[in-house]
């Protein structure tokens, strides 16, 4: 699609997200360049825009691009390496050793490219990342045409990316300046977790985030063990420590948040903390349940993320929002908790607002970026359609995603990627799998050596 082109996406249903709960039947969305120009009934659209190229989506629901608010994108190359283990065992005995052996620029570039392919094909147009070698993740995002919020990771632990917190912060400063003018790229500061970052480094993160006006993206209260260790080490719970250090604010994207007291929920609501809910990763690692109903009742803003493919094991946001809706009902004991409309909003506008992009993406509104996804509901699994949003959230799956646009560029057309050679992407991923399996002692074809 050229910048001067005018396209008319003629859909059976349009779910604009703003206003909330609205379903527009037989409407068209007009794209000019990288922007949404108009939304109007399909019956009159050709009269208003006679020169527009019509894209027929007769059996489709058109939604804003999904926003994956928490990923470790390059970890697609560690998908399934070690499953069915507690979080700290999984990290310390398997994931961190594998990362020490293999993570470098090429690993991150190839892993993020694989992740971008998976996300685009499943309707995600923007992802919020946290990983090493962020410049490689950014380059992969730019090359594949996906929008990205690149986390500039901070740790006390030495890795191949940096030796200590001071060096992480120095590199973060360089990366923030280098990525400042990329049109589809934003940055966040991404201290890994309270248990891996010192008070001194967290204070520097707070100061830089204010100076750069960027979010702080951090794992917080992910497990009961994390809280117990914080009490033993710091004589306070992680959230209390972050409050003491001045990090509790609307800048903070607190990921997971499965271990919360009523008082902590009130504290987060008063300080404006935003929560990123990763239901499938939390379920798989048995980390606990994010109290979605209580958070929403307190007025806390939420978004949805998949976490990394090493702990999920996919980056499928349609699947994630369905799990979020079902889990919230089971945990609360109320089937009205997190409706299909609510879940879709968290996975679109909720993620956009969390990343400071709510004025740019997350809803189908004239003037916003043309990040759009068409999902074909003419399948046996989604027929009949009484409510398009219910069919989308509770019955559809990522194989029904047919077309995806990011900033007006059609990056998926009729179920195929247009910005990358999928054969090459898969070949590189298979090669990494062979190398990693050999060192880890696994046969890549399914059995232990």
Which domains are delineated in the chain?
6-64+368-417 (2.30.40.10), 66-354 (3.20.20.140)
Count other Cβ atoms within 10 Å, centred on residue 44: 10
Distance from the Cα of residue 154 to its chain's centroid:
19
Count other Cβ atoms within 10 Å, centred on residue 412: 24
**Cα 427 to Cα 113, 309, 325, 412, 436, distances in angstroms:** 12, 18, 36, 20, 14
Distance from the Cα of residue 359 to its chain's centroid:
18
| DSSP code of residue 52 | S
Place of tokens 């049109």: 183
For the full predicted model, state whether its pTM sits above 0.85. Answer: yes
Which pLDDT does position 440 carry in this prediction? 63
Please give the structure tokens belonging to residue 80: 């399934």
- Give the integer Cα–Cα distance in Å for 257 and 61: 32
Which pLDDT does position 439 carry in this prediction? 74
Count other Cβ atoms within 10 Å, centred on residue 314: 16
Q: Are strands 401-406 and 372-376 parallel, antiparallel or unpaired?
A: antiparallel
- Give the integer Cα–Cα distance in Å for 307 and 153: 15
**Cα 164 to Cα 86, 88, 167, distances in angstroms:** 27, 21, 5
DSSP 3-state of 149: strand
Q: Residues with Cβ < 8 Å from 85, sequence gap 6 or more?
A: 93, 94, 285
| DSSP code of residue 170 | H
Q: In what order do the strands lie in the sheet with 35-41?
A: 35-41, 24-32, 6-14, 53-64, 372-376, 401-406, 409-413, 416-417
Backbone angles phi, psi at 412, to 5 degrees: -130, 125
- Using a 10 angstrom Cβ sphere, with 0-12 exposed, 13-18 middle and 19 or more buried, the burial of residue 50 is exposed
SS3 per residue for 69-120: EEECHHHHHHCCCCCCCCHHHHHHHHHHHHHHHHCCHHHHHHHHHHHHHHHH
Backbone angles phi, psi at 331, to 5 degrees: -65, -40
- Of the candidates 71, 50, 169, the one whose C-alpha atom is nearest the C-alpha of residue 119 is 71
- Give the integer Cα–Cα distance in Å for 139 and 144: 9
Please give the structure tokens belonging to residue 252: 């903070």
Q: In what order do the strands lie in the sheet with 185-191?
A: 66-71, 124-131, 147-154, 185-191, 216-220, 252-256, 274-277, 302-304
Give, for all 449 residues of the chain, the pLDDT tens digit. Answer: 343 489 999 999 999 999 999 999 999 999 999 999 999 999 999 999 999 999 999 999 999 999 999 999 999 999 999 899 888 888 889 898 999 999 999 999 999 999 999 999 999 999 999 999 999 999 999 999 999 999 999 999 999 999 999 999 999 999 999 999 899 999 999 999 999 999 999 999 999 999 999 999 999 999 999 999 999 999 999 999 999 999 999 999 999 999 999 999 999 999 999 999 999 999 999 999 999 999 999 999 999 999 999 999 999 999 999 999 999 999 999 999 999 999 999 999 999 999 999 999 999 999 999 999 999 999 999 999 999 999 999 999 999 999 999 999 999 999 999 999 999 999 999 999 999 988 765 544 333 22
**Cα 102 to Cα 111, 150, 157, 252, distances in angstroms:** 11, 21, 17, 30
Which pLDDT does position 441 carry in this prediction? 53
- Give the integer Cα–Cα distance in Å for 216 and 204: 12
Residues in the chain: 449
């Amino acid at each position: 699609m050229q910048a001067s082109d005018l396209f008319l996406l003629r859909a059976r249903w349009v779910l604009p997200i703003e206003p909330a709960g609205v379903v527009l039947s037989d409407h068209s969305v007009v794209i000019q360049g990288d922007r949404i120009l108009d939304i109007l009934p399909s019956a009159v659209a050709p009269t208003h825009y006679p020169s527009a190229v019509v894209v027929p989506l007769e059996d489709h629901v058109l939604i804003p691009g999904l926003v994956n608010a928490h990923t470790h994108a390059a970890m697609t190359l560690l998908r399934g390496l070690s499953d069915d283990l507690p979080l700290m065992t999984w990290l310390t005995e398997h994931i961190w050793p594998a990362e020490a052996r293999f993570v470098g620029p090429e690993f991150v570039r190839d892993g993020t490219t694989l992740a971008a392919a998976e996300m685009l094909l499943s309707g995600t147009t923007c992802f919020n990342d946290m990983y090493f070698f962020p410049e490689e993740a950014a380059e992969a995002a730019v090359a594949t045409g996906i929008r990205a919020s690149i986390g500039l990771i901070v740790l006390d632990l030495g890795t191949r990316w940096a030796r200590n917190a001071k060096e992480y912060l120095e590199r973060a400063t360089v990366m923030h300046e280098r990525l400042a003018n990329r049109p589809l790229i934003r940055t966040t500061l991404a201290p890994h977790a309270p248990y891996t970052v010192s008070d001194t480094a967290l204070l520097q993160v707070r100061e830089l985030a204010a100076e750069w006006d960027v979010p702080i993206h951090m794992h917080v209260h992910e497990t009961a063990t994390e809280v117990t260790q914080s009490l033993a080490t710091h004589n306070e719970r992680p959230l209390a420590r972050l409050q003491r250090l001045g990090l509790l604010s609307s800048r903070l994207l607190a990921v997971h948040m499965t271990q919360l007291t009523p008082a902590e929920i009130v504290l987060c609501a008063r300080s404006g903390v935003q929560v990123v809910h990763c239901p499938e990763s939390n379920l798989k690692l048995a980390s606990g349940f994010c109290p979605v109903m209580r958070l929403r009742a307190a007025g806390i803003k939420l978004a949805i993320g998949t976490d990394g493919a090493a702990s999920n094991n996919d980056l499928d946001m349609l699947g994630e929002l369905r799990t979020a809706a079902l889990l919230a009902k089971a945990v609360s004991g109320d089937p009205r908790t997190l409706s299909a409309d609510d879940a879709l909003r968290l996975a679109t506008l909720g993620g956009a607002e969390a990343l400071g992009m709510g004025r740019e993406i997350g809803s189908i509104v004239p003037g916003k970026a043309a990040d759009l996804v068409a999902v074909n509901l003419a399948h046996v699994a989604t027929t009949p359609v009484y409510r398009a949003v219910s069919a989308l959230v509770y019955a559809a799956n990522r194989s029904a995603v047919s077309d995806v646009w990011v900033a007006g560029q059609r990056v998926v057309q009729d179920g195929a990627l247009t910005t990358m050679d999928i054969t090459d992407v898969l070949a590189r991923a298979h090669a990494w799998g062979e190398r990693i399996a050999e060192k880890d002692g696994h046969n890549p074809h399914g059995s232990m050596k």
